Structure 1
Amino acid sequence: MGSSAIFSFPRFLQFFFIFLALAQNPGLEGSHLSRIFDILDQEASPPSVQEAAARGVLARLLPSHLSSFDFKIVSKEKCGGKPCFMISNHPSLGGKGAPEILIGGISGVELSAGLHWYLKHLCMAHISWDKTGGVQLSSVPEPGFLPHVHSAGVLIQRPVPWNYYQNAVTSSYTSVWWDWERWEKEIDWMALQGINLPLAFTGQEAIWQKVFKMFNISSSDLNEFFGGPAFLAWSRMGNLHG
């Protein structure tokens, strides 16, 4: 299961319009905002898909421990009404080859963030970009010897609904020539860090192209108008000339 199961482009658009509405209507709250959250919950991928996506992150990060962790989507009510992840000792702990740690959360991102929290705080692991230390997992014990959590388990509630990532020029400065392998690595990192609102301009020019053609602007004119891949961010902001 690929990382794309954790994030979906339609959801990016929904989040964008939510923030736009909030910016234009500071008083938007109560039942209106609750309704938006309800719609987003309804649009979420099935639990089995999100659980499989979290297992995919684990398989790419720490394949030797794929059988050591189990993931389960839980309701927001079980989290006290807020986004959260929960970590507990697995009910089958002690059986040969059985999972040792159970991670619950309301989404695939929360499950992945819970995995990172466990590895960081109980196994002293470090998961970062390559230039800031990279992935350091040598401190993680072998399967069968993972640290237990206390009997009450761990509950971490998200203080805000969304964790935003990137800015308007990242797609041109940094990731313009990335292939899927590099993107998958970045998406895994985002999920492990609990990021659930990465900026995505992908496909914006295709929409503009369709609109402009409705006004009889030719493809050749549009090709001259749009910036190249490494300059799309600046052409979108209207600060290219020449």
Structure 2
Amino acid sequence: MDMHNGKVRIRGNKGLSLTTGLNYYYKYYCGVQIARQTRQVNMPDAIVTVPKKIRKESPYEVRCAYNYCTHSYTMQFWGEDEWQTELDWLAINGYNTVLDITGQEEVWRRFFRRPWLQRSGSLRLAGRPWLSWLDVHGQRRKHQRSDSA
């Protein structure tokens, strides 16, 4: 990041380099804070100059967001607006890998409708708030397998 012809120039080798650079400029030069729950986006009236060239590099190749509980407890009722806000936040904070299980319960529902699975009578799907427990094997099976297969 530097100044070029009176404008702030942000460069990077990937899209996330640019978005995290923009977030750095907002946060440390403009006093703008973009958080998950709050937005303080009162921009200064004039361009805030960058006094010297800044170079930032992440030591991490993969920056992962979420866990199974996040989807069950937080995101199950989100619509397009909430997802767009979240995706923007992920981008400006440099996340490049996201655990995405959206729609997974529909895949399971279709799979478990197969006749050979229904005959066992022991398969149940958890409701949306409890999907994380199913995902992390916290839901108890009605019948435990006794063989060592």
Normalising by the smaller structure, the TM-score range is 0.7 to 0.9
Answer yes or no: is 1:109 the counterpart of 2:9: no
Maintained 8 Å contact 2:20/2:92: yes
Q: Give the deviation of 1:173 after TM superposition.
A: 0.9
Report the equivalent of 1:164: 64
Q: Equivalent residue of 1:172, what SS?
A: helix
Report the equivalent of 1:84: none
C-alpha RMSD of matched pairs (Å) = 2.6
1:207, 1:168 → 2: CA distance?
16
TM-score (norm. length: structure 2): 0.76
1:236, 1:120 → 2: CA distance?
36
Largest Rg, 1 or 2: 2
Report the equivalent of 1:120: 27
Q: For 1:177-232, what per-residue CA distance to the aligned partner results, in whole angstroms no more than 9, with x for missing partners? A: 000100111111111111222222224345545655667335xx79x622222221
Q: Relative contact order (C-alpha < 8 Å, sep 6+): which is higher?
A: 2
Report the equivalent of 1:136: 40
Report the count of equivalent residues.
139
Q: Mapping of 1:73-222 within 5 angstroms?
A: 87-91=1-5, 93=6, 100-130=7-37, 134-138=38-42, 140-142=43-45, 145-150=46-51, 153-208=53-108, 216-217=116-117
Maintained 8 Å contact 2:35/2:89: yes
Q: For 1:22-72, what per-residue CA distance to the aligned partner results, in whole angstroms no more than 9, with x for missing partners? A: xxxxxxxxxxxxxxxxxxxxxxxxxxxxxxxxxxxxxxxxxxxxxxxxxxx
Q: Percent identity?
A: 27
One-letter code aligned to 1:101: V
Q: Which moved more, 1:173-182 or 1:104-113?
A: 104-113
Maintained 8 Å contact 1:110/1:191: no
Structure 2: 5+ residue stretches without partners: 143-149
2:106, 2:14 → 1: CA distance?
30
Q: Give the deviation of 1:90 after TM superposition.
A: 3.5
Report the equivalent of 1:240: 139
TM-score (norm. length: structure 1): 0.50
2:16, 2:116 → 1: CA distance?
43
2:131, 2:62 → 1: CA distance?
26
